[in-house]
Structure 1
Amino acid sequence: MASFKSYQPVKRSSHSTVKVGDYLYMWGGSGSGVDYDVMEVYHLPTGAWDQKPTTGTPPPGTWAYSIIAIGKDIYYFGGSGVGGYRNSLHCFNVDSLKWRELSPSSDRGPMKKARCRMISANFDSEDYLIIIGGSGSSSINTPKQPNAQYSADGRCNEIHYYRISSGQ
C-alpha cells in the first residue's frame, strides 16, 4: 500500500476530480498556488491526501475542462487557460504519472471550448470518448460542425466521437 503524508490540497475552483480504484485524482483549476505539474491524490480508505509529481506535458486548458477515467487512464478535454479556450485532448496514466497529448485526426474537431461534458462508451468492442456541448469562442474562424447549433455567446450542442484505439 502506498504511504501518504499529512497534506492539505491547494484551494481551487473550476477543477474536476475523478475516481480510479481507491483514489480520487484532482488536477488544475483556478486558484492561488495551483501547481500544474502535480496531481493531487486522495486515498479514499484512509482519507489522506498526497501530491504526485507528473511528467510529460499537461493540458493547456487548466480550468473548466472535461474529464473521464477509463481503466488506469484519465482523459482531459478542452478547458480554458492562459491564451483562452482549448480543444486539446490529453491522457494521464495513474501508474506512470505521465501526461501525453492525443491528436484527433478530424478536420472538423471540436471548437475551442470549456464547460463541455465528456462520457465514455463502448460499442462494437471499441472504447470511445464522446464530447458534448460546451461554451467557447463564437468567433467566425471557429470550425463549425454540420447540423450543430451555436449561440451568439459561444454555447453549442456539438457532439464529437474519439475512438481511443485508433486515435480518431
Structure 2
Amino acid sequence: MDSAVEKHCVELVALERSGHTAVLEGNTLHVWGGYMSTAEREVFLPSDEIWLYDLERGVWEMCQMSGEIPPPMSGTCSCFLIGHMYIFGGYDDTGQTNQLYRVNLLDGDYRWKNVKAESGSPPSPRDKLCCWVFNDRVTYFGGYGHKTLDDIMDDKSFIVDTASLEQNVGWGWNNEVHVFDTTLASWREPQSSGRAPAPRAAHAGATLGHKGYVYGGRVLETTPSDIHCLDLESWTWSEIVPTSTVPGGRSWHSLTAVSDNTLFLFGGLNVDCKPMSDRWVLDVDTKTWREFDHPNNSKPRLWHTASQAKDSDVVVFGGSCDYVLLVGTYGNLTGHSHDALVFQTQPYPLFRICVDCIAKNVNNFKMLQNQLPSLPRKLLEAVQRRTSRNI
C-alpha cells in the first residue's frame, strides 16, 4: 500500500451490518453500505466509507471515499468488473432507487462516479435484486420496487403488492432482465425465451461461464426452492429440475460459484421465518444437491454477502442472525453480525496446507522459528504475510 493510501486509511474493526454489498479483489474483501440496529432504531451506515479486509492477515482498514457519493442505503446489487465495483438500485431514506454507480478499487482513491447511460433507459427503482457478469456486461434480474399504475397495466413481468398501492404508484415484485453494457454505457432489455422464473425479490444469483443462475427468493407470500438458469448469449431461460433432495425454500440467502460446474448455497430465511445456517453445493451438470456439515452450524445468517476467494473458499460477511424485520424490536434478538466466516468447499493444494500449518504453529515452537529462513522463498513470503500482524 502506498503512502497516499495510508494517509486516509485507519486500522479498525468493521461495524456489524446487513443488506450491505461486498466484492473480493485479490485477497482483499471490500465492504460498503448496509444498515445496523441501535437501541432506538435502524440506521444506514455511512456511504463515504469503504471497509477493506485482508484475508491473509485478518486485518480491517477503513478508507474514506469521495466523488459522486451514493446515498447511504441497503439492498443494492454489486459486482466487480474491470477493476471497478458497480452498484445498482437499493433502498435509501427516500425509497428504492435506480441509480448506477461505480468506484475504482485498484487506484487507492475510492472516488465514486454516478454512471449515466449514453443510450437506453435504466430499470425502474428497485432493491433486493441480483446480477450476473459476462462479456463486460452486467445483467440484472428481479427485485422489489415501484412503477406508476399506467406502467403496470398488462405487465405480466410485475406482480403488484396490493398492500402497498397508492394513488398512482404500485409496489411489487418483477422478473425483468435488464443489461448494462459497460463498454457502450448503454441499457437494454433483451427479449428472452423459455419459461422465466416468477417475479421475486431477496433471491440469490451466481454466474457460471455464460449462464446466470437464480435460486429461491420471495414470491408474493411464498419462498420457493426453485433454481433457474438464463443463457447470457441466447437469452433463453430454463429451469433446473434436481435429481436429489433439494434445500428448503428461502430468501435473503447467498449463492456463489466455486468451480466451473458447482454453486455454493448458504443460509437465508426459511418458510417459517427462521434464520438458517445450512450449507449446500449444487453440481449443475448432474443437477444434484449435496448438504455438508460445517463448523459454522451455530451461526445462522441472512442478508449477508458471500464472495469466492482463492482455492474456492467462500467468505461470508455480516448479515443478520435473526429475522431482519424483528431485529431491534425485542431485546433478546442478537441482531446483525460483523463476522467473516470462511467456508472450505474443495481440498486445499499442498502449498496452502503448508502455509496454514506453519503460520498456525510458528509462535509455539522456537525450533520452527529458527528454521523459517530455510523455507523456499515463495513459501517464506506467504508465511510472513500471514503472520505479519503478530510481529
TM-score (structure 2 length as normaliser): 0.39
For the structure 1 residues 135 and 88, does the alpha-carbon distance in structure 2 shift closer, same or farther, using more than 3 Å as the test?
same
What runs of 5+ residues in structure 1 fail to find an aligned partner?
none
Q: Which 4+ stretches in 1 moved above 3 angstroms?
A: 1-6
- Please point out which of 117, 131, 139 is paired with 1:130: 139
Q: Match of 2:60?
A: 49
Structure 1 residues 162 and 23, CA gap change in structure 2 (3 angstroms): same
Determine if contact 1:66/1:79 at 8 Å carries over to the other structure.
yes
**Structural RMSD (CA):** 2.2
Work out whether residues 133 and 156 of structure 1, in 8 Å CA contact, stay in contact via their aligned partners in 2.
yes
Aligned residues: 161
Q: Which residue of 1 aligns with 2:110?
A: 97
Q: 1:156 to 1:90 in 2, by over 3 A?
A: same
Given the alignment of the two structures, is residue 152 of structure 1 paired with residue 170 of structure 2, yes or no?
no
Q: Is the 8 A contact 1:138 1:151 kept in 2?
A: no
The 8 Å contact of residues 20 and 71 in structure 1, kept in 2 or not, is answered as no
1:12–1:29: 8 Å Cα contact kept in structure 2?
Answer: yes
Instruction: Specify the code of the residue in structure 1 equivalent to 2:20.
Output: H
Larger Rg: 2
Percent identity (aligned): 25
Counterpart mapping for 1:3-152 below 5 A? 6-31=11-36, 32=43, 34-60=45-71, 62-94=73-105, 95=107, 96-104=109-117, 105-107=119-121, 109-122=122-135, 127-140=136-149, 149-152=157-160
Which has a greater percent of helix?
A: 2
User: In structure 2, what is the Cα distance between the partners aligned to 1:102 and 1:138?
Assistant: 22
- Indicate conservation of the 8 Å contact 2:132/2:139, yes or no: yes
The whole-number CA distance in structure 2 between the counterparts of 1:52 and 1:6 is 9
Q: Which runs of 5+ in 2 are unaligned?
A: 37-42, 162-171, 187-391
CA distance in 2, matches of 1:87, 1:55: 21
Letter in 1 for 2:177: I
Query: Which of 63-72 and 32-41 deviates more?
Result: 32-41
Q: CA–CA distance in 2 between the matches of 1:158 and 1:33?
A: 27
Structure richer in strand, relative to its length: 1
TM (norm. structure 1) is 0.86
Structure 1 residues 39 and 120: alpha-carbon distance in aligned structure 2, compared to 1, 3 A threshold = same
